[in-house]
Structures are given as C-alpha cells and as structure tokens.
C-alpha cells in the first residue's frame, strides 16, 4: 500500500493549521463512516503486540496524545489508523471556547508546532455524548484527559478535576490529570509536590467512592507533567508519585522553552512548543523520573516522537508506552505503524 500521506500533507499544509486540523478530523470521520478509512491510510495492518500496563491490555505500545481529539469525536477513526490507545481531551467541566485565533502555528523548518489553544472543548457532558458514538467499533484503550476551566480560580481547582473524574468514570479506561498545559493561567503551579499529592489522594478517595457504583471498576489515575521542571522538582514529584502509588505518569507536555527554534519568525508566539525540538529533552525528563520513581509505576513517553527511532529511545529510557501528536501531523499514519511494529 503506497503511503498517500505526503500528498495529503501538501494539501493540508496549504491551509492554516487550525483549518487543516478540522479538515483532517472531518475527512477521517467521513472516510470511516463509509468504511474506507483503514484502506486509505493502510491502518490496522500492524501485527498485534499487546502489552499490559496499569492493569489494562493495550493492543500495541503507541497512542494518540491528548489535544488532537479534544471533543472525543473521532476515537474509532484514530483506532483505525493503528493507535492502540487514544487519549481525548483535555476536557473541562463546562464548555469553553479557548483562546482567540490564531492560536496554532506550524514551524515547518523545525518539524514543530506552537499552540495556545487554551482547552477549547465541549465540556464534559458534550464530550461524553460524542464518545458514545465515536467509540463504536474501537477495541483499544480510551484515556480521558481532564483539566480545569480557565475561569476557575486555582484555590478551587480540585473540584473541577474531581467533577470531571466522576463524570467520565464509566466511560474511561484511564483518566489523566493534566497539570502541565502552559495555556491556562496558573495550571502548571499545580505541579508543586504538595498540591499534586493532595490532588492524587483526593482522586483516589473519589475512586474508592465510585468503584462500588461501577461494579468494582478501578480507573487508573495518570498525571501529565511539563518538560520545564527543574531536576529537583522532578525528583520531588517522583517521591510524591511513589508515595501515593499513582497509576502512571506522562512525560511530557509541550515546552515554553524556545532555544531550539531561536531565530524562527514564529519563535515569540506564546504557547507550548511540540515536535522535533522537544524530543531530546522530553526523553531526558522521562529518564530522570524513571530512575527516581518506584519502578512499578509506568511512564508514558510523549514529546517529539517523530520517528520510530525516537519512540525506541523513549522505550530504552524506560517508557511503557509512547504517545504521538506532532509526529502524526508531519509524518502521517505511517509513523504509527512503524512504532507499533518495533520489536519489544
Ligand atoms: C495543538 C496541540 C494541542 C494540545 N492540547 C493538549 C491538551 O488539550 N491536553 C494535553 O494534555 N496536551 C495537549 N497537547 C500536548 C500533546 O498531548 C503532547 O503531550 C505534546 O504535544 C508533545 O508531544 P508531540 O511532540 O508528539 O506533539 C497539545 C499539543 C498540541 C500540538
């Protein structure tokens, strides 16, 4: 099957980044609805290499990172592209429009993206309604990534995370608490050791309360951290994760660092930078956390996975799974297949 993505990419890149994003999702949904998506993308052909992580069976080790399917509208379609898990969101309790446009920029020369989307999402009830349709036929693992509304003061952040957790409990295979987006004011302050410990404990208490209502279902709790933490802060968080026995950690979100793209005309756009400039540092954060944290707690590697070799570097640094966002934009579904086929 020839790789059609370079051709599709030429067309998509002729539009501004956000329009291309919407065209891609609508195109995928339409192609799936008439049964031609996996034929067009060559998806679903990877040999299954299932792994067990956080007590869940993942069909392979590569997943879609949060933020691409913020509304949960294309879960099954991403499954057909070959992803073993799909993380949707970030979703907040109430719907919100996100930041003003333009808020998404391609830095082609660097195979990178800067975004300041600001959690545009349909709210947790809207997302659940979408998922009830879009997950039909999906046999992978569904992660739901939760956050707080932009106008919820930081003192009250706990109730936003707990309300979302409760609302998605029945639908999610695992839930990620996003503490690391640079585009919601004050969000990354929630990564302080005390605040993070408190959040994990409260989510665990909520889970104890919900488990009997869901026939004993235990939803793993995952924390997603930023790449811009100091080594000491990472070590402090590793202690918190070990002490609380959180179920998993995602390293990393996007970076506010710009050194790798210095001199580019878009370097001063506010937001988080993702893609190739993030690869190395995000793997360093992963390796440091891995070495400092209880070995039983899995780490999921996200950040600049642009090639199968980048994914292998994350597995070699101790990742149990990897996730892709910007790599999909630049390389297309072929990348997913290449990673899924990496020997264990
Ligand atoms: C446009 C865009 C939107 C994103 N939105 C979210 C989000 O809502 N929640 C989240 O946890 N991460 C979000 N991310 C971060 C990605 O999930 C991922 O962690 C990060 O981009 C690094 O991976 P990459 O280099 O493969 O893109 C977003 C990334 C991009 C590029």
> How many residues are recorded in the chain?
344
Task: Please give the chain's pLDDT, 344 residues, in tens.
Answer: 678 899 999 999 999 999 999 999 999 999 999 999 988 887 655 667 899 999 999 999 999 999 999 999 999 999 999 999 999 999 999 999 999 999 999 999 999 999 999 999 999 999 999 999 999 999 999 999 999 999 999 999 999 999 999 999 999 999 999 999 999 999 999 999 999 999 999 999 999 999 999 999 999 999 999 999 999 999 999 999 999 999 999 999 999 999 999 999 999 999 999 999 999 999 999 999 999 999 999 999 999 999 999 999 999 999 999 999 999 999 999 999 999 999 98
Per-residue pLDDT at 262: 98
- Residues 6 or more apart from 91 whose CB is under 8 A from it? 70, 72, 121, 122, 123, 124, 127, 144, 145, 146, 147, 164, 168
**By alpha-carbon position, which residue is closest to atom 19 of ligand 1?**
253
| CATH number for 149 | 3.20.20.70
90 CA → ligand 1 middle, Å: 9
162 CA → ligand 1 middle, Å: 22
Query: Residue 139 catalytic?
Result: no
**Ligand 1, closest atom to CA 115?**
1
pTM over 0.85: yes
Per-residue pLDDT at 47: 65
Residue 90: is the preceding peptide bond cis (ω within 30°)? yes
Q: Best substitution site from 19, 66, 119, 178 to test ligand 1's pocket, by max atoms within 8 Å of Cβ?
A: 66
Number of folded domains in the chain?
1
Q: What is the DSSP string of 166-183?
A: HHHTTT-SEEEEE---TT
Per-residue pLDDT at 2: 79
Domain that holds residue 204: 5-340
Rounded Cα distance between 235 and 189, Å, is 16
Under 8 Å between Cβ of 158 and 198: yes
7 CA → ligand 1 middle, Å: 24
Per-residue pLDDT at 86: 98
Helix (H) or strand (E) run with residue 279 in it: helix 279-292
Sign for the CA dihedral angle at 77, 78, 81, 83 comes to negative
Under 8 Å between Cβ of 87 and 138: no
> Which residue from 167, 142, 149 is spatially nearest to 73, judged by alpha carbons?
142
275 CA → ligand 1 middle, Å: 9
Rounded Cα distance between 11 and 24, Å, is 11
Per-residue pLDDT at 41: 82
Per-residue pLDDT at 46: 62
Complete edge-to-edge strand list for the sheet that includes strand 104-107:
104-107, 112-115, 272-275
Q: Say which of 46, 180, 181, 302 is annotated catalytic.
A: 181
**By alpha-carbon position, which residue is closest to atom 6 of ligand 1?**
67
Residues having CB closer than 6 A to ligand 1 are: 65-67, 70, 90, 104, 113, 115, 117, 119, 145, 178, 181, 224, 253-254, 274-275, 278, 302-305, 324-327
**Ligand 1, closest atom to CA 66?**
17
**202 CB burial (10 A radius; 0-12, 13-18, 19+):** middle
Q: What is the DSSP string of 102-129?
A: P-EEEEGGGTEEEE-----B-HHHHHHH
**Ligand 1, closest atom to CA 147?**
9
Per-residue pLDDT at 43: 61
Rounded Cα distance between 32 and 81, Å, is 10
What dihedral angle (degrees, nearest 10) is formed by the CA atoms of 135, 136, 137, 143?
20
Rounded Cα distance between 135 and 145, Å, is 16
């Amino acid at each position: 099957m020839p790789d059609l993505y370079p051709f599709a990419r030429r067309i998509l890149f002729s539009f501004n980044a956000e329009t291309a994003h919407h065209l891609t999702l609508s195109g995928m949904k339409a192609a799936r609805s008439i049964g031609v998506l996996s034929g067009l993308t060559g998806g679903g052909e990877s040999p299954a290499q299932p792994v067990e992580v956080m007590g869940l069976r993942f069909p392979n080790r590569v997943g879609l990172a949060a933020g691409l399917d913020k509304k949960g509208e294309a879960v099954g379609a991403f499954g057909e592209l070959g992803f073993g898990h799909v993380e949707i969101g970030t979703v907040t309790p109430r719907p919100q429009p996100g930041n003003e446009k333009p808020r998404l920029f391609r830095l082609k020369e660097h195979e990178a993206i800067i975004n300041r989307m600001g959690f545009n999402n349909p709210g947790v009830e809207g997302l659940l309604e979408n998922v009830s349709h879009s997950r039909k036929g999906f046999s992978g693992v569904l992660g739901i990534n939760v956050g707080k509304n932009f106008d919820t003061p930081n003192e009250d952040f706990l109730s936003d995370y707990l309300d979302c957790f409760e609302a998605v409990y029945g639908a999610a295979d695992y839930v990620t608490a996003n503490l690391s987006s640079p585009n919601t004011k004050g969000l990354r302050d929630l990564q302080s050791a005390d605040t993070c410990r408190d959040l994990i404990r409260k989510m665990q208490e909520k889970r104890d309360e919900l488990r009997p209502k869901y026939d004993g279902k235990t939803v793993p709790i995952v924390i997603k951290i930023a790449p811009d933490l100091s080594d000491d802060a990472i070590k402090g968080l590793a202690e918190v994760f070990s002490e609380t026995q959180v179920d998993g950690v995602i390293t990393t979100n996007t970076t506010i660092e710009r050194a790798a793209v210095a001199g580019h005309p878009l370097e001063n756009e506010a937001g988080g930078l993702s893609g190739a400039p993030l690869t190395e540092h995000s793997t360093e954060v992963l390796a440091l956390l891995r070495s400092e944290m209880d070995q039983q707690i899995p780490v999921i590697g996200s950040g600049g996975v642009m090639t199968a070799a980048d994914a292998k570097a994350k597995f070699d640094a101790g990742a149990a799974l990897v996730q892709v966002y910007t790599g999909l934009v630049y390389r297309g579904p072929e990348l997913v297949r290449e990673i899924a086929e990496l020997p264990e």
